[in-house]
Amino acid sequence: MEPIHISYFSDVLCVWAYIAQIRLDELRTTFQDKIAIAPHFVPVFGNAREKLENSWRDKGGFKGYSDHIHEVVKKFDHITVHPDIWTNVIPPSSTSCHLFLHAIQLLEIKGIVPKSEQVSEKAIWAFREAFFTKLANVSDRKVQLELAEELGLPIAAIQEQIDSGEAYALLSKDFELVKEHTVTVSPTLIFNEGRQRLNGNVGYRVIEANIRELLHNPPDEQSWC
């Protein structure tokens, strides 16, 4: 039986995607080869500073947004954030980070690193965690390279994927998919060839129920509901 294909859209700088990582990990543990999760990026923070300046101008600015993040995180005991999140370090854009992560993904696609090592998934988490817990400016190429080195990844090979334009092509494909599926929220899960989606802070049991329904009622079979 073909695995259930799930397109997972997120922004590395999005706190809700940071929170939701534990749910993705649980899905992979529970369903294993019955699902295939394809990571994609939606540029919610593509122009991060201007976005927050405009949307939080009358609500305390960056400090107000930082306070909001801390209030959100208080509800979850599996993550932490730096006290100065979104105040001392404000990355200009998540897009450069997404580009770099696609370059790492290409290492898996081309077999430069074994898929079994799940380096792409590990890198996405490492970048998120570095920003939210250490205030790493993950939009800065120097920081990206440092994180890649910490993960033991081949730096020259990553740079080659960017220089060749191939990482840009993957990022462009994400932009096209975002438009095609009108994705505006991070995270967003899309399955059943676009007929089903779950947006934002959706609980694990809800996601699990949707997957089990698809496993028990394949898309090409009739359902009574």
| Structure token pair of residue 179 | 């438009």
Distance of CA 61 to the CA centre of its chain: 25
181: burial class by Cβ within 10 Å (0-12, 13-18, 19+)?
middle
> Range with the lowest mean pLDDT among 65-74, 136-145, 209-218?
209-218
Q: Is the dihedral of CA 52, 55, 56, 61 positive or negative?
A: positive
> Range with the lowest mean pLDDT among 7-11, 61-65, 134-138, 211-215?
211-215
Structural domains of the chain sorted by starting position, each given as residue range(s) with its CATH number in brackets: 4-216 (3.40.30.10)
| Structure token pair of residue 14 | 């999005």
* pLDDT tens string 74-88: 999 999 999 999 999
Name the pairing type of β-strands 188-191 and 196-199. Answer: antiparallel
Give percent of the chain with pLDDT exceeding 90: 89
